[in-house]
Amino acid sequence: MTTRDPPWIFRTYAGHSSAAASNALYRKNLAAGQTGLSIAFDLPTQCGYDPDHPLARPEVGKVGVPIASIDDMHALFADIPIERMNTSMTINGTAMWLLALYVAVARERGVPEAGLRGTIQNDIVKEYLARGTYIFPPEPSFDLIAETYEYCVERMPKWNPSNVCSYHLQEAGATPVQELAFALADALGVLDRVKARGKLSDAAFQQCVGRVSFFVNAGIRFIEEMCKMRAFVSLWDSLCQTRYGVTDPELRQFRYGVQVNSLGLTEQQPENNAWRILIEALGVTLSRDARCRALQLPTWNEALSLPRPWDQQWSLRLQQILAYETDLLEYGDLFAGSPVIAKKVEELCEGARAELARIAERGGIAGAIESGYCKSELVRSMAQRMGRIESGEQVVVGVNKWTDGIASPLVGGPDGGVFQIDRAAVDGAVASLERTRATRDAAAAKAALAKLTALAQAGEPIMEASIACALARVTTGEWAGALRGVWGEYRAATGIAGAQIGAGGWDALRARVNALPRRPKLLVGKPGLDGHSNGAEVIAVAARDAGFEVVYAGIRLEPSAIAAMAVQEAVDVVGLSVLSGSHLELTGAVIAELRARGGADIAVIVGGTIPASDHAALRDLGVARVFTPADYKLIEIVGAIVDLV
C-alpha cells in the first residue's frame, strides 16, 4: 500500500455577528471536515473596545465575532472540546487578552492549559505596516509579545505564542523579497526582545525559537511563491543557527500556515477567483520540503463581500480534493535538485539578505517602523503594482484583458452571491455585555483591573493578572482601557510621502487639474475601526501625482473628526475608505457631521468592498460617487474626483 504524508490542517477563517452564530458555524464546518479553527474577531475586539463604545457600534459583528468578556468566549466555544482542538486566533493588539480569555475558559472547564494547542497571531509589526489594529506604542507592544512567549514556554508548551504574519504585507503590496525580509526582521525583533529581557534560561530561549510560527501569503505567481517558501526555510534555518546558536534541527524548522492571496481576487468575473485560489494553493502544497502546516483559503466572492457558509464550504472542498483525491501526498519533494528552482531560491535569498541589512542599518524592525521606512516601501510597491495593472503590463483576466464574458450565475441568486450582514448584531452584543456587567462581582472586577494597572505601571508581567481579569468578568474595553491609561495610544507612519504611481498617460489629467481656478484639495480618511489602508493610500498618492493638495487623515477616525478636519482644511472633496461592511452607518455619520459644521457643500465619495445593492442607499445619503474593486483605473478615479471640484 502506498504511504501518504498526513495532510495539512484544514482551516476556514470565520466568525461573524455573535458568539452564538459563530459557534454554530464552527460546529458545522468541523462536521464538514475542517480540522482546525481559525477565529475572526470583529474590529472592536481587535482594537480593544466594548461594543457600546461610540467608535465600536458601527463595526460590531461585521468582519468577525464580537468578544467582550469570558461569557462571550464560553458561548463561542460551547460544545467544542478545546482540549482536542487546534485553535488559531487572528488577534494582535489585544492578543494577550484573548489568550487570557481562552486560558480562563479552560480553567473554568477544568481543562489543563498545558495541553491546549493553537496560535495567537500576536504580530504587532504587520499591524503598524498593513492592517492597522494596533493600540499601544512599539515598546510596550513588543514587551507584551515577549511576555506571551515567556508564559507559553513555561505553561503552554504546545501553543504558538505568536504567528509572524507576512500575509498582510503582500496584501499591502509587498514583493516576495520584501515579504521575506520584513517577516524575518519581525521575527528577529521579537526574539531579540525575549532574549534581552533575560527572564529565560538558554534552554528555554531555544524552545522560544522553536515556537515561532509564521503566517504567509501565496500569490498567483505560484512558481515564484513556492520558491519564496523554500527561501523562507533556508533563511530561517540559517538565522536560527548563526544568530541564536540553535543546534536542534527541529527547533530551526520553518513552521508556517497560509491564507492564499485575497488582493488579486476580482469583482469583475468573480467566478475566475476560484481558479486563482486553486493555483495559489499549489504554491504552498506542491513542495514537500516547504509545505504548509495549515491552510485556509479565501472564497470566490471576497471582492464582493464577506463569504457565506456555502462559499467557505466550496473552499474547504478544494483543500480536501487536493489532499485526498490527488497523489500529491505520496511523493517526496518534486523540486529537490532542480537548477531552475535552486537559482530562483538563491535570487530571493540574496535579495532578502540585502533588505535585512537595510533594516538592520535603521536599528532593526522597530527602527524601520518608527522611521517609516517599511511603510513607505510598501506604499511604493503597491502604487507600482496598481500602475502596472492600469497600463496593462500586468494582466488580470476579466479586468484589463478579456473583459467580455457571460454573466456569472453565481451572483444571480436572490442574495446576489454576497453575505447579508446582520445589522442588529450590535444589539445582541450590547445585551450580552450588559448582562455580564450586571451579574459579575463588581468589586472583584475593579480589584483585578487595579492590579493589572499597577503591574503595568511597574513594568512587571501582566499575563497572570490578565487571566485574573478574565475570570473576574472584566471586559475587553476595560482591559485595553486600563493599559491605554498606562502606555497611551500609538499612531503609525502613513508612508505616502515619496511614492508615485509611475504609469503613463497622466499628462492630460494633470493639465485638467492645473487649469482649475485654484489647486483642488482632497481629504482621504478611514472612519471607524477598519485599518486596511492600502486603497486609501494609493488614492492619496494618485491624486497628489495629478496635482491635488491631499490631506491624508489616516485610519480609525471618528466621523466627527473627519468632518471637523474637512471644514477646517476647506477641502473640496472628502474621500472615505471603508472595507468592513460599515459603509452605510459610517458614511451617513460623516455626512451628518459635515452638515452640522457648515460643510454640506463638500462632496463626499466612498470606496471599498461595497455590494451593488448598497449603492443606491449611499447615493440617497448624499454620496457623489461610489468606487469598488472593479474601479481599478486610477486615472479614471482621479478624473471623476476632478469632475466634482
Active site positions, annotated: 13, 167-168, 526, 530, 532
Question: What's the grid cell of residue 473?
Answer: 468578568
Q: What amino acid is encoded at 406 in this protein?
A: I
> Is the sign of the CA dihedral 375, 377, 378, 380 positive or negative?
positive
Q: At a CB cut-off of 8 Å and minimum separation 6, what does 636 contact?
A: none
Q: How many residues in total does the chain contain?
A: 645
Nearest to 384 by CA among 394, 396, 398: 394
Other CB atoms within 10 A of residue 310 CB = 10
Query: What are phi and psi for residue 211, nearest 5 degrees?
Result: -90, -5
Scored b (16 or more CB within 10 A) or e, 495-520 reads bbeebebbbeebeebeebbeeeeeeb
Can you say whether residue 554 is alpha, beta or left, with left for phi > 0 and alpha for psi between -120 and 50 degrees? Answer: left
Q: How many CA atoms lie within 13 A of 254 on its CB side?
A: 26
**Cα(580)–Cα(385) distance, integer angstroms:** 23
Residue 102, sorted as left (phi over 0), alpha (psi -120 to 50) or beta, turns out to be alpha
Residue 256's DSSP bridge partners are 214
* List of residues 6+ apart from 63 with CB closer than 8 A: 16, 40, 42, 43, 306, 530, 580, 581
**Three-class DSSP category at 359:** helix
The Cα-based distances of 349 to 135, 167, 218, 343, 632 in angstroms read: 33, 18, 17, 10, 32
Of the candidates 544, 552, 548, the residue with the CA atom closest to the CA atom of residue 383: 544
Spell out the SS3 assignment of 90-157.
ECCCCHHHHHHHHHHHHHHHCCCHHHCEEEECCCHHHHHHHHCCCCCCHHHHHHHHHHHHHHHHHHCC
In angstroms, the CA 287 to CA 278 distance is 15
Q: How many CA atoms lie within 13 A of 1 on its CB side?
A: 3
The cell numbers describing 256, all together, are 508556517
Which residue from 266, 217, 90, 173 is spatially nearest to 534, judged by alpha carbons?
173
What is d(CA 259, CA 276) in angstroms, rounded to the nearest whole number?
13
Amino acid at the residue 503? A
Residue whose C-alpha cell is 509572524: 164
Q: Classify strands 294-296 and 625-627 as parallel, antiparallel or unpaired.
A: unpaired
